[in-house]
Amino acid sequence: MTAKIINGKAIAVELRQEIAREVEQLVSAGKPRPGLATVLIGENPASQTYVRAKRKACAQVGIESFSYELPATVSQEKVEELIRRLNDDPKIHGILVQLPLPAGIDGERVLRAVSIEKDVDGFHPINIGRLAQKGREPLFVPCTPAGCIELLKRAGAKLDGANAVVIGRSNIVGMPVALLLVRENATTTICHSHTRDLPGTCRKADVLIAAIGRPEMIRGDWIKPGAYVIDVGINRIEDSTRKRGYRLVGDVAFDEAVDVAGAITPVPGGVGPMTIAGLLRNTLRSAKRSQV
C-alpha cells in the first residue's frame, strides 16, 4: 500500500485564503482590522525566523502585526509591563509570545500575564481547562493541535470511535491534541517516555499522532495498515549533500511508513504550515469576538 500524502502546505493555503476573505468582509463592514502583537525576547535564530514568518503571514491575509523585540537581558517586570500594555490596547486582538524564552525569564508568569481573551496560542491554563471539560468551550484552540485535527478531517479520517494514539504529552502539542481527539469521540491513548511497549500500542492506532522530537523514531512496522499518521516532529539531521548541511525529518520514518499507512503527513509540508494558519484564524476569531 502507498499512503495518500496529506498536503498541509496546500490545505494551509486554502485556509489562509478563507481567512483573508473574512478579514476583508470585516473591514469592509467598517470594523477595525484584526491585529496581532508578536513579542520576541532575545536573539534565538529559530525564533526570529518563526516570528518573521508569522508577521509575513499576517500581512498576506490583511491582519495588522505589531512587533516587539526585547533583549535577552530584559527584566521580568519589563516584559510583564509590556504584556499588560498590549492587553489594554484595543487595536491588538492577539498576543503571541514566541517560545522558548531566555533563561532568567519566568515563562509561566509571562504566559499567565497574557489576557485569556488575547491568548491566540491558546496556552492559558484556564483555556486548556475549558478544552478538557465536558460542556465547556475553549476561547481558542491551540494552533498546532487544531492543525492536526483539521488535516485528519480533510483527509477523510473517521475520528468518532477510532482508536487514536498520541505520542507526547507536552502542554503545547501532545496533551491538547489528545483532548481534541477525545472531543471528537476517539478512544485516545497518550504515550510518553515511560510507556511500555510503545510499538505494540502504536500498532493498535487507527489514528497515530507523533509529537516527540526524536528523528524517525516511529518505524514502519509500528504502524497499523491503513492508519492515518500525523507527524508533528521537526528535527534537524546532518546531511552533507545539502547546502545548509542538514535536512528536516519528522518523528516518523516516512519512507517506511508510507508503505503501510493509509494517509500520512510529510515533514516539511505537513503540520508546520497549519500552525501559522491556526494563529491567523484565532486572531480573526478574537477580533470578531471583541466587536460583539
* Contacts to ligand NDP by CB under 6 A: 144, 167-170, 172-174, 191-195, 198, 211-214, 232-235, 271-272, 275
Q: Please give the grid coordinates belonging to residue 23.
A: 478579514
Pairing relationship of beta strands 4-5 and 263-264 according to DSSP bridges: parallel
Please tell me whether the peptide bond between 45 and the residue prior to it is cis, using omega within 30 degrees of 0.
no
Q: How far is the CB of 126 from ligand NDP (least distance, A)?
A: 21
Catalytic residue among 118, 119, 121, 251: 121
Do 233 and 216 form a contact (C-beta atoms < 8 A)?
Answer: no
Contacts 24+ apart (CB under 8 A), 212-216: 212/167, 212/168, 212/251, 213/168, 213/251, 214/251, 215/249, 215/250, 215/251, 216/249, 216/250, 216/251, 216/252, 216/253, 216/254
54 is catalytic: yes
Nearer to ligand NDP, 158 or 219 (CB): 219
Do 284 and 58 form a contact (C-beta atoms < 8 A)?
Answer: no
Give the nearest residue (CB) to ligand NDP.
170
Nearer to ligand NDP, 214 or 219 (CB): 214
Q: Please give the grid coordinates belonging to residue 202.
A: 502504536
Catalytic residue among 98, 119, 231, 251: 98
Q: Which residue has the cell 521580568?
A: 76
Nearer to ligand NDP, 25 or 193 (CB): 193
Q: Per-residue DSSP letters for 106-154?
A: -HHHHHHHS-GGG-TT---HHHHHHHHSTT---SS--HHHHHHHHHHHH
Do 167 and 174 form a contact (C-beta atoms < 8 A)?
Answer: yes
Nearer to ligand NDP, 174 or 262 (CB): 174
Q: How far is the CB of 143 from ligand NDP (least distance, A)?
A: 8
Helix axis angle, 174-183 relative to 143-154, nearest 10°? 50
Q: How far is the CB of 279 from ligand NDP (least distance, A)?
A: 10
Nearer to ligand NDP, 12 or 82 (CB): 12
Q: How far is the CB of 55 from ligand NDP (least distance, A)?
A: 16
Calculate the alpha carbon distances from 246 to 49, 238, 239 in Å: 17, 4, 4
Q: How far is the CB of 68 from ligand NDP (least distance, A)?
A: 22
121 is catalytic: yes
Nearer to ligand NDP, 78 or 169 (CB): 169
Do 69 and 82 form a contact (C-beta atoms < 8 A)?
Answer: no
Determine the Cα–Cα distance for residues 93 and 140; give it in Å rounded to an integer.
12
Please tell me whether the peptide bond between 268 and the residue prior to it is cis, using omega within 30 degrees of 0.
yes
98 is catalytic: yes
Q: How far is the CB of 170 from ligand NDP (least distance, A)?
A: 3
As annotated, the active-site residues are 54, 98, 121
